[in-house]
Amino acid sequence: MYPNGLKNGEGPGVPEARARALSELGERIGAEEIDRIWIFPPIVRGRRERGLLALSLYREGSPNRSLMSLRYIAELTGRGVEYTSDLVDEGDVTADRLPRVIAGVARRSEDTVTGDPRLVKIEGSSDQLSLLLAEGSDDD
């Protein structure tokens, strides 16, 4: 329960926030570098939403992956949507250790995570990322 009496998920949240975060990843990183994206359920309270996306990136000439996280906060105000995000390099990891590392990201992000993530395989495909972006615009 939050100070204003709302429980997580009560209120409209910011329906376009996740799509905006995914679009930001495509613009800043590019589909060809993205291996997988983990989309965590957002924390919604009224017209405010906090979310977390984790992603693994291909490393040229290496079986290892770079791990990044994007945390966002979005709020519907009388002036429109206020949106801020933070893209963080979390380090490198071998591909076989990704599930355990993602679980650690979730534990360290308790203020931004409310459940298990949805795994989406992009595998360097702009078509896969486009499908996810189209789906994201229909979410929530």
CB 74 within 8 A of CB 103: no
Decide if 4 is inside a domain: no
Decide if 111 is inside a domain: yes
Residues 6+ apart with CB under 8 A from 63: 94, 95
| pLDDT tens track for 42-84 | 999 899 999 999 999 999 888 999 999 999 999 999 899 999 9
Average pLDDT of the segment spanning 22-44: 93
CB 47 within 8 A of CB 12: yes
Decide if 87 is inside a domain: yes
Decide if 86 is inside a domain: yes
- How far is C-alpha 92 from the chain's CA centre? 18
Domain, as residue range, for 97: 17-135
pLDDT more than 90, % of the chain: 58
Let me know how long the chain is: 140
**What is the structure's pLDDT at 60?**
87
CB 33 within 8 A of CB 59: no
Decide if 62 is inside a domain: yes
Decide if 9 is inside a domain: no
Number of separate domains in the chain? 1
